[in-house]
Amino acid sequence: MLTIPDRRKISPFLVFFLIHSIQVGAGVLGFQRIISMNAGYDGWISVILAGIFTHILMFIMYLILEKSGGDLVSAHTLAFGKWVGNIFNLLFSLYFSLLVITIMRTYIEVLQVWMYPRLSTFMFSLLFLILVYYIVNGGVRTIAGTAFFGTVLPSYLLLTFAFTFNYADFRNILPVFDHSIKDILISTKNMSLTYLGYEAILMLYPYLKDAKKSQKYAHWGLFTTTIIYTLIAIISFAFFSQKQLEKTVWATLSMWKIVEMPFVERFEYIGIANWCLVILPNVCISLWCASRTIKRMTPLRHRHALIIICILCLCTLTFITDRKQVNFLNTISGQIGFYFNFFYIPALLVLVTIMKKVRQKK
């Protein structure tokens, strides 16, 4: 059983903010085009279906953690042994490092396209990772605080979607189920990248006070994320025509362009700047999971593992320069995350259950 001192643990209700904040990132700025490519205006159904699947997978993850008595590293040790388990631990660390790179490079692309065309990827990544290192080095409690403020402070941005109602036609989503089940399921799969990150609970679990009580807050976080994505999808489908969605890469930012206030002319600039607070906990949680996994499987101190991963992420970010590479990065992350969640996690539950029964008999 992995034991963590109580002074380093966080309250169960903070799991709500950790799960919700890591799911709402740069993907919310342009997921509408992705889900409408196959399912059209029925894409909002795919958002709900993908959200339901996250609840099922979260339930499975808690079962794995309860049976293994620790985190994902403990589950791998129980299922595969120390040496083979460390191979899977390394893959998990690389997966979360990939999420860090995907989140940061996608946001940097938004900055370069909408605000600062000459923005240096290297300089922004360096400064941002220094801030992330400072937060992650403070421990889980500091990260939880960042997730709390990253959820609460930018929440006013949801109110700005009311400006689209004067130009929206909600009859666009009718008739419902106008596409085949196959198309809707393909769209559900495409939504997987946007929902990624909640598997961080596999490493955060030992740091929770009354960990079993935290499950309901984790599900509430997933539910809130699903509601927000569904509402944004429906509003976007009511605002854009089908052909407009096909050509609009950042649908959310395009909707912010119509926001008119006496004190600001280009509200999308405000939205993009505030979105830095949204992706900050995304990167912090993912980077913590990657470095914590390395720390658990090697003699390295957490701080040293964190520095190594930050340097690797910085080097990788520098070499991703154009839209095709960013799009390929998002596609790869989505595919890996889909198979990790929908295939590997259920298989790991089966292995952990079998191995625990075998050891109990011995």
Instruction: Report domain extents, the chain.
Output: 6-361
Position 166 scores a pLDDT of 85
Average pLDDT over residues 107-117: 89
Q: Comparing 25 with 77, which gets the higher pLDDT?
A: 77
| Diameter over CA atoms, the chain | 73
Whole-number Å distance between alpha carbons of 197 and 189: 15
Residue of 104, 55, 37 lying closest to 333 (CA atoms): 104
Average pLDDT over residues 217-237: 93
The per-residue pLDDT for range 42-66, each reduced to its tens digit, is: 889 999 999 999 999 999 999 999 9
The per-residue pLDDT for range 118-144, each reduced to its tens digit, is: 889 999 999 999 999 999 998 899 999
Q: How many CB atoms lie within 10 A of CB 46?
A: 26
Position 19 scores a pLDDT of 94
Residue of 98, 73, 93 lying closest to 348 (CA atoms): 73
Model confidence at 147, in pLDDT bands (50, 70, 90)?
very high
Whole-number Å distance between alpha carbons of 347 and 158: 38
Residue type, position 219, single letter: H
Model confidence at 70, in pLDDT bands (50, 70, 90)?
confident
Q: Is the dihedral of CA 254, 260, 264, 270 positive or negative?
A: negative
Position 190 scores a pLDDT of 85
Position 131 scores a pLDDT of 94
Position 1 scores a pLDDT of 53
Residue of 69, 6, 19, 46 lying closest to 214 (CA atoms): 19
Position 215 scores a pLDDT of 92
Position 228 scores a pLDDT of 93
Share of the chain above pLDDT 70, in %: 99
For residue 319, what are the CA distances in angstroms to 21, 48, 108, 322?
27, 36, 13, 9
Residues in the chain: 362
Inter-axis angle of helices 72-80 and 267-297, nearest 10: 40
Whole-number Å distance between alpha carbons of 118 and 90: 36
Position 2 scores a pLDDT of 63
**CA dihedral in degrees (272, 277, 281, 287; nearest 10)?**
60
Position 312 scores a pLDDT of 94
Domain spanning 6-361 has what CATH number? Answer: 1.20.1740.10
**CA dihedral in degrees (301, 304, 305, 308; nearest 10)?**
-170
- At 24, list the tokens: 């709402």
Q: Is the pLDDT of residue 362 over 80?
A: no
Average pLDDT over residues 303-311: 93
Average pLDDT over residues 338-356: 91
The per-residue pLDDT for range 153-209, each reduced to its tens digit, is: 888 888 888 888 888 888 888 888 888 888 888 888 888 778 888 999 999 999 998
The per-residue pLDDT for range 242-299, each reduced to its tens digit, is: 888 888 888 888 888 888 777 777 788 888 888 888 899 999 999 999 999 999 888 8
